[in-house]
Chain A
C-alpha cells in the first residue's frame, strides 16, 4: 500500500514534465538574422529589412551545403508588427536575436530612435552587443546592396564597424550602451554614418551627431570624430591623424596618439565656460622632412601641431554647439561635480548655455625607429 502511494506521488511529479518543453526553440528551426534595418515609409509605417542565412543542401552530395542570404522585408505600424509580418513570410521562426548589426534609415534616425529600439530591449534574448549605424539613405537599400554584393562576407558590416572602432574613428557604442545615452539627460552620442560611395561600395563615412534621441542631420568626418574621441578620453588602440603643415610645399605629418590627458574646468559667468586642455602624447609615424633628432625641430612640430589642432577643435565644438550635441557629456560633468550650475541651466537645450574653449597641447614622444 505504501509503495503504491509513493508511486502515485512520483507519477504526480513526472506527469507535468511529460507535457514538457514549453520553451523549446530548436536551433535547426530558427532562421537566424544577422543584419536588420529599420525604415519609415511614406504612410508612416515601419519597414524592417533583414538578411537571413539560408542553408541549401544540395541533393547530389549529402555533405555539401551552400549558404545563401535571403532578404526579407515586412511592414507594420510598430516594429513588432513588422517583424510578425516577416515571420509569416519565412519558413521556421524569424528570430532577430542573433543580429550583429542594426541599420537605421535616415528617416527613422531623424525621429525618436527609441521608438524603434523599444521592442528590441523588451526581448531578453536579443544580442545587446549588436552595433547600430545610421545610413544616409534608406536601410533597405544598403541591406539590399550588401546582400547582393557581399554574399560570402557574413559579418562584413560588423567587421567594418569594428575596425573603425579600433582606429578610433567612431565611438564604441552597442545596443546596450546606446540606451544609457538615450536616457541620460547630460550626454549625447554619435553613431557611425554609413553611405555608398561612387564605386557602389558601402563604407563608413564619419559619424552622425545625435541630440537627445534623434539625429541632428549633421555629421562629422572620421578625422573630426577622432579628435572628438580624444577629447572624450575614449581613444581605442590606435588613433591616427594627419595634418598638413605647409600647403605649398605639401608637407604633412602623420602621428599616432599614444596617450591622452584632459583637464576640464567649468565656470559660470554669463554663460557656462568650459575650458578644456587636452594634452596628447604622440608618436610620429610619417614625416618625410625628418630631422627629428634636433630638439628645436621637435618643439617646432609640437607648436605647429598644437596650433592646428586647437583651431580644428574650435571648429569642431562650434559644430557641436550648432547642433546642441553634447557628446562630451558636459551636462553629466556638471550634474556630477557642479550641481549648482546645472540647476541653473538644466533643460532641453542646456548646451546653448555652454561655451567650450578647447586648447590642445601636443608632445612628441617618439618617432618610430628612425629619428
Chain B
C-alpha cells in the first residue's frame, strides 16, 4: 500500500522539529544536571550528533522502500508474521510515548497552574484534543504543524527576558568538561529521551516528494540541528541561572526561572511560556497519534477515524491507570524502549535489508498498475 500525500523537505523540518520538541523540554536541564552536572549541554550536543547518525540510518533504510511506511516495509523485510509483530510493537511504543506525554503534561499542569483540578479531567481534555487533532489528512497535519512551529521561536524569545536578571552567572558553566567524559556520555542516556520523536521519520519519509534524493535528508538534518541547538540553549541558560545544588531540587528549571521574570504588563512569564509550550506539546501528541493510528488502521484494516478513536481510548485508559498508580514507571520504561525502537530495530532492519537484499519489488508493480 503506497501513500499518496506529498510533503517537501521544509515540511519535514516542521514535522520533525514539532515532534521532537515536546514534553521533555521543561525538565531537561534538571535531568541532564543529574548525571552530567554543568556539562549537560555537551551531553545534548553529543546526543544530537548521535541522532543525526541514526537519522542517516533510517534514511538509508527508507530509501530502499520509496513511498512505503515502516508499517508496510517491515513485512517485506522480516516476513509477514514477524513484520506484523514489529508493527504491533511499534504501535505500542508510539502509544506509550503518548501516555508518557499525557502523564508528564498533566503532572506539570497540576503542579504549576491547576493544583485542584482532578487529573482525569485534564487527561480527558487531552484525549478530546487528540481525537479532534488526529482525525484528518496528512496534509492537514503538516499545514497545522508549519503554523504551530511559530510558537517555538516565541518560546525562544520569551527566554530573552531572563537576561535582565542580575544574578545570571556564566561561571556556572565552567569548568567545561569537569564532570568527566564518562559522566557526560552517561548523561546522553538521560538526554536521549528528550530527543525521541525522530523515529516517526520511519513513517514520514514515505510521504516525501523525492525520498531517494539527499534533499529529503536535508529537512531531517536541519530539524535535528535546530532541536539540538534549541535544547542546548535551554540547558545552558538554566545552568547559568541556577546554582548546581539548586538545580538538583528544581524539577522544571525553565518554568521556575521564568516565573520570576516580570515585565510591565504581566508578572508571571511562566504562564505565557507554559501556554505556548502547550501548543508545542499538542503538536507532538498529534504527530504521534497520527502515526500510531496509521499503523493501527493498517494492522487491523479499519478506517483512520476509528483507528484514532481506538488509539485515543487506549492512551486515555492507560495513562489514567499510570497517573494514579505510578507516575515515574513509564519514564523508566521509555528510556529502554527508545533505545530499542529508535536505534536497535532500525539498524537491525537495515542490516537485514542489505544482507538479504530486500526490495520493495511488490510495490513497484503496484505503482505501474
Contact = CB atoms under 8 A, between A and B. Distances in A.
A and B touch in the complex (CB under 8 A): yes
Interface of A: 13, 16, 22-23, 124-125, 127-129, 172-177, 179-185, 187, 234, 329, 332-333, 335-337, 339
A339 B115 CA distance: 43
A13 B129 CA distance: 12
B108 to A, nearest CB: 10
A124 B250 CA distance: 12
Most buried by B among A173, A180, A181, A337: A180
A314 B226 CA distance: 50
A367 B126 CA distance: 65
A-B CB proximity, top 4 nearest: A336-B174, A177-B167, A128-B260, A176-B260
B124 interface: yes
B260 A22 contact: no
A184 B117 CA distance: 36
Given A22-B116, A23-B116, A185-B245, A13 B128 contact: yes
A234 B166 contact: yes
Contacts of B165: 176-177
A180 B243 contact: yes
A187 B243 contact: yes
A228 to B, nearest CB: 15
Contacts of A129: 260, 262, 267
B112 A124 contact: yes
Nearest to A19: B121
A183 B245 CA distance: 5
Contacts of A337: 171, 174-175
B243 A181 contact: yes
Nearest to A13: B128
Contacts of A183: 243-246, 249
Nearest to A122: B111
B171 A333 contact: yes
A141 B166 CA distance: 31
A182 B172 CA distance: 15
Nearest to B169: A332
Contacts of A339: 175, 178
B100 to A, nearest CB: 22
B223 interface: no
Contact of A124 (B111, B169, B262): B111
A22 B242 contact: no
A77 B165 CA distance: 34
B226 to A, nearest CB: 30
Given A124-B259, A332-B171, 20 more contacts: A13-B128, A16-B121, A22-B114, A22-B117, A22-B118, A23-B113, A124-B113, A124-B115, A173-B167, A176-B257, A181-B167, A181-B243, A183-B245, A183-B249, A184-B244, A187-B243, A329-B169, A332-B172, A336-B172, A339-B178
Given A128-B259, A336-B171, A23 B124 contact: no
Contact of A180 (B117, B167, B267, B270): B167
Contacts of A16: 121, 124
B259 A172 contact: no
A57 B258 CA distance: 37
A180 B260 CA distance: 13
A336 B243 CA distance: 12
A180 B245 CA distance: 8
Nearest to A232: B166
Contacts of A336: 171-175
B283 interface: no
A127 B266 CA distance: 12
B260 A184 contact: no
A337 B246 CA distance: 20
Interface in B153-184: 165-167, 169, 171-175, 178
A185 B113 CA distance: 32
B174 to A, nearest CB: 3
Nearest to B243: A184
Interface centre among A23, A182, A333, A337 (most CB of B within 10 A): A23
Contacts of B171: 329, 332-333, 335-337
A165 to B, nearest CB: 9
18 contacts: A13-B128, A16-B124, A23-B113, A124-B111, A124-B112, A128-B259, A172-B167, A173-B167, A174-B260, A176-B257, A180-B246, A181-B167, A183-B246, A184-B244, A332-B171, A336-B172, A336-B174, A339-B178
B119 to A, nearest CB: 11
A172 B244 CA distance: 21
A78 to B, nearest CB: 18
A136 B122 CA distance: 49
A175 B262 CA distance: 13
Contacts of B268: 125
Contacts of B117: 22-23
B118 A184 contact: no
A335 B178 CA distance: 10
B241 interface: yes
B174 A184 contact: no
Contacts of B175: 335-337, 339
Contact of B166 (A22, A124, A172, A329): A172
Nearest to B173: A336
Best-buried of A128, A185, A234 by chain B (most CB within 10 Å): A128
